[in-house]
Amino acid sequence: MENEKIVYGLDIGTTKIVCLAGKLNEHGKLEILGVGKSKSLGVKRGIVNNIMQTVDSINHAVEIVHSDYDLQVNSVCTGIAGQHIRSLQHSDYITRQNPEKFIDNTDIEKLHNNVKKLILLPGEEMIHVLAQEYKIDGETNIDQPEGMYGSRLEASFHIVAGQTAAIKNITRCVVESGLKINALNLEPLASADAVLSDEEKEAGVVLVDIGGGTTDVAIFKNGIIRHTAVIPFGGNVITDDIKEGCSIIEKDAEALKIRFGSAWPSENKDTEIVSIPGLRGREPKEISLKNLSKIIKARVEEIIDQVYRQITSYGFQEGKNKLIAGIVLTGGGSQLKHIKQLTEYITGMSTRIGYANEHLAKGTLEEISHPSYATSVGLVLRGLKTNNFEDIQELNNHSQKKGSVNNTTFFENWSNTFLKYLLNE
């Protein structure tokens, strides 16, 4: 039965790597069967910069799922993000030879193939080609053209592109871990599946996923993805600023941010002080919570300003582009105290924190509904909708256990075929 299919999501983030196992229960909710988490080594700002360290981190997370939950992870749905991601809009059309015959999937595929011929920047590949709306003989706002008649079929597309090297590095890390890849998804699209409702996507909403290394932005309107962007900094830069501003080590800076951090300094009194143990017998260091909040606010303002630029470039103030549902913050960085209020103050848009509760079955560990797991949950949800393509299956059948991918020619062929699969989405 379909609802018995177990899917494994693999979120390769900058701060942590999560392997999440889940299936749909009889009520159509996601039942989490297992979770493995490891510290992410070898990934910086969403981009792999050390293959072996990343492979080791993936193996550790997968092994937890295997040993603690007695589940065998063979294939995964994984995500991609990073500062190399960019999006663009493109329109294209085909002229049909026989307008008396109704439009079918062959016509739509031909139109999509036209888009794939688009010349990108050197070293770039398309990750997603997402049709937004179709036109038939000038008739606009057509969501599904199949079965209709017409001589000219055209569409506007949202194209997500990324650096070929970065895409291949992610896929190689997964393959080197002895895993097969069922799907590769842009991470903000996965997060959106986890925390946004269909009503919000229809009304117009901005998803802002504040991760450790990057902040991902996705804008939806009329149920369709309209704009995506990756801002090349996230929660880690806040930690770095605390580390430098308070002259403390990174571990203490991260702990301060999580436990006492606030994006609204006026909420802290001048007398509120926290003491940090000194290093190797040195005197404890006293930190003013108001000063801590000032440091945090300055960096969060920079992140939200960058987000607002993306929203403005979309043209949200125009009537047809109005984003009625405002902003939804998710990711680990969304848990900073008063970040919702600061976001509303900077953007003037209503804001809420995004949790995956709506899609999770009752009894799910509270930790999994935390915004820092939004991408992981979304990858499993998207995996439940994805079927393996024949060419991917054929190459996956040749992949073996850990350490087997030593043949460079095989891997290059695998990667190139996988990129072709991505373009067919």
Q: Mind listing the pLDDT tens digit for each residue in 102-143?
A: 999 999 999 999 998 899 999 999 988 999 899 999 999 898
Helix (H, G, I), strand (E, B) or coil at 282: coil
Same domain, 299 and 197: yes
Query: 412 in a domain, yes or no?
Result: yes
Is the confidence at residue 407, as pLDDT, over 50? no
Please tell me the distance from the alpha carbon of residue 104 to that of residue 147, in angstroms, as a whole number. 6
Same domain, 348 and 222: yes
- Tens of pLDDT along 169-203? 999 999 999 999 998 899 999 999 999 999 999 99
- Tens of pLDDT along 209-223? 999 999 999 999 999
Same domain, 226 and 90: no
Same domain, 349 and 208: yes
Average pLDDT estimate for 304-310? 96
Query: 36 in a domain, yes or no?
Result: no
Mean per-residue pLDDT of the chain: 88
Query: 49 in a domain, yes or no?
Result: no
Is the confidence at residue 418, as pLDDT, over 60? no
Is the confidence at residue 420, as pLDDT, over 60? no
Contact 72, 177 (CB under 8 A): no
pLDDT band at 89 (very low <50, low <70, confident <90, very high): very high
Same domain, 320 and 269: yes
Split into its structural domains, the chain has a count of 2
Query: Which of 354, 378, 412 is the last residue in one of the domains?
Result: 354
Query: Which of 333, 354, 375 is the last residue in one of the domains?
Result: 354
pLDDT band at 385 (very low <50, low <70, confident <90, very high): confident
Query: 258 in a domain, yes or no?
Result: yes
pLDDT at 270: 84
pLDDT at 393: 43
Query: 129 in a domain, yes or no?
Result: yes
pLDDT at 154: 96
Query: 179 in a domain, yes or no?
Result: no
pLDDT at 285: 87
CATH of residue 255's domain is 3.30.420.40
pLDDT at 406: 45
pLDDT at 23: 94
Same domain, 247 and 156: no
- Tens of pLDDT along 5-28? 899 999 999 999 999 999 999 998
Same domain, 197 and 137: no
pLDDT band at 413 (very low <50, low <70, confident <90, very high): low
Enclosing domain of residue 105: 86-165+388-423
pLDDT band at 306 (very low <50, low <70, confident <90, very high): very high
Average pLDDT estimate for 379-405? 55
pLDDT band at 4 (very low <50, low <70, confident <90, very high): low
Is the confidence at residue 423, as pLDDT, over 70? no
Look at 236 and 365; give whichever has higher pLDDT: 236
Least confident of 119-123, 175-179, 280-284, 332-336: 280-284
Same domain, 229 and 349: yes
Query: 340 in a domain, yes or no?
Result: yes
Please tell me the distance from the alpha carbon of residue 32 to that of residue 21, in angstroms, as a whole number. 6
pLDDT band at 417 (very low <50, low <70, confident <90, very high): low
Is the confidence at residue 376, as pLDDT, over 80? yes
pLDDT at 397: 43
pLDDT band at 399 (very low <50, low <70, confident <90, very high): very low
CATH of residue 406's domain is 3.30.1490.110
Same domain, 252 and 296: yes
Same domain, 141 and 199: no
Contact 181, 364 (CB under 8 A): no
Same domain, 222 and 157: no
Query: Which of 354, 376, 401 is the last residue in one of the domains?
Result: 354
Query: 266 in a domain, yes or no?
Result: yes
Share above pLDDT 90 across residues of the chain, in percent, rounded to a whole number: 71
Same domain, 161 and 196: no
- Tens of pLDDT along 60-81? 999 999 999 999 999 999 999 8
Please tell me the distance from the alpha carbon of residue 51 to that of residue 59, in angstroms, as a whole number. 12
Least confident of 143-147, 172-176, 225-229, 361-365: 361-365
